[in-house]
């Protein structure tokens, strides 16, 4: 059931520090998590929560603004006043959308573990600093996709596969893979600018990965599609599985991504690629089509051998986000059989 909004203290009554602080903590907003298996009752409850929140928003905003403006002269110290002003400012920024917020750490639940993912303030080139809907959706689908024929052989082998995530962003998908596939070696990659936060999240969740057992490893590294490549990616040692979620934002991305996959994916017929692309609009659908063509156009051509769509909205419900999507396409690719045959010959 939806919890009623807290009773807001009246500043003219000079409430004590702990009352103000506790109230401000209770007003914290966390972006909603989109679950694949949400029940009808849960959806209705979320809708009612949104109605209740809208009704309470005016009073809450007035309270937060008053707390920020008030000198809070009755509080015992400057430290207490600073804490109240800081918390009130944070609660106000949370109500202005994700782009107005500072650093946050979100908790992402899975059936047998939870991942903690830090997102820095979204400033400048922030695409890789936000956790996108598709990464969580694909992470939840990993067990079922991995058990289907195009991927099942990788996890039935005596040695767990080496997995590479391209465009990992905050790392949710790759970290989930490391937890869901005990013993696998997982490397999460993105642009050099993104890697410090990515490495932080790997460190933050390393104990969770290790607790899953199997002796697997998880690491973060810089890998720029179409650019200079770190020596670790030029040794000739390739990956059995490449995973990618929501990778296409520019006309150059389909070709660059296909080239990066071709350079890192195993050359035999056993290696696989798992990709998810939200179908936001005509532009995204065009990039998706261009990516499939680029995959087929590689020297060792790659063909889609399994695909499906998942319904959902491409938004966490953050104010200012572009909500809505025609769903999330995912596909599994492998090197085409004719290329595999020619290489064997």
Note whether 267 and 335 are within 8 A (CB).
Answer: yes
* Domain spans of the chain, in order of start: 11-95, 104-344
Which residues of the chain fall short of a pLDDT of 70? 1-6, 30-56, 94, 96-102, 122-128, 231, 313-326, 337-345
Q: What confidence score (pLDDT) does residue 195 get? A: 94
The DSSP annotation for 22-87 comes to: HHHHHT---PPP--TT--HHHHHHHHHHHHHHHHHHHHHHHHHHHHHH---TTSS-HHHHHHHHHH
Class at the top of the CATH hierarchy for domain 104-344: alpha beta
Please write the tens of the pLDDT for every residue from 8-61: 999 999 999 999 999 998 888 765 555 555 544 554 565 556 556 655 677 888
Alpha carbon distance 142, 23 (integer Å): 40
Q: What confidence score (pLDDT) does residue 308 get? A: 95
Q: What confidence score (pLDDT) does residue 337 get? A: 67
Alpha carbon distance 303, 258 (integer Å): 12
Q: What confidence score (pLDDT) does residue 161 get? A: 93
Residues counted in the chain: 345
Alpha carbon distance 87, 67 (integer Å): 10
In which residue are the tokens 């103000």 written? 20
Strands 185-190 and 217-222: parallel
């Amino acid at each position: 059931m939806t919890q009623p909004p807290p009773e807001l203290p009246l500043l003219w009554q000079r409430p004590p520090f702990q009352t103000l602080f506790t109230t401000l903590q209770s007003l914290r907003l966390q972006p909603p998590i989109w679950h694949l298996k949400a029940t009808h009752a849960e959806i209705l409850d979320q809708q009612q929560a949104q109605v209740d929140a809208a009704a309470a928003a005016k009073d809450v905003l007035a309270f937060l603004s008053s707390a920020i403006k008030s000198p809070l002269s009755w509080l015992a110290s400057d430290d207490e006043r600073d804490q109240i002003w800081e918390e009130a400012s944070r609660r106000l920024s949370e109500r202005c959308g994700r782009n107005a917020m500072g650093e946050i750490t979100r908790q992402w639940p899975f059936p047998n573990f939870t991942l903690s993912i830090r997102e820095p303030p979204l400033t400048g080139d922030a695409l890789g600093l936000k956790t996108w809907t598709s990464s969580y959706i694909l992470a939840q689908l990993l067990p079922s996709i991995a058990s289907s024929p195009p991927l099942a052989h990788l996890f039935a082998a005596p040695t767990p596969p080496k997995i590479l995530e391209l465009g990992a962003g905050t790392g949710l998908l790759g970290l989930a893979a490391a937890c869901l596939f005990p013993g696998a070696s997982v490397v999460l990659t993105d642009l050099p600018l993104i890697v410090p936060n990515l490495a932080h999240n790997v460190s933050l969740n390393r104990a969770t990965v290790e607790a899953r057992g199997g002796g697997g490893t998880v690491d973060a590294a810089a890998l720029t599609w179409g650019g200079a490549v770190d020596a670790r990616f030029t040794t000739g040692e390739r990956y059995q599985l490449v995973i990618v979620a929501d990778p296409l934002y520019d006309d150059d991305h389909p070709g660059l991504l296909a080239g990066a996959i071709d350079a890192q994916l195993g050359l035999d017929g056993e290696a696989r690629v798992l990709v998810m692309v939200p179908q936001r609009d005509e532009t995204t659908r065009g990039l998706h089509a261009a990516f499939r063509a680029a995959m087929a156009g590689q020297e060792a051509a790659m063909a889609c051998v399994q695909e499906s769509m998942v319904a959902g909205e491409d938004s966490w419900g953050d104010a200012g986000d572009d909500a809505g999507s025609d769903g999330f396409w995912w596909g599994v690719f492998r090197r085409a059989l004719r290329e595999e045959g020619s290489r064997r010959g």
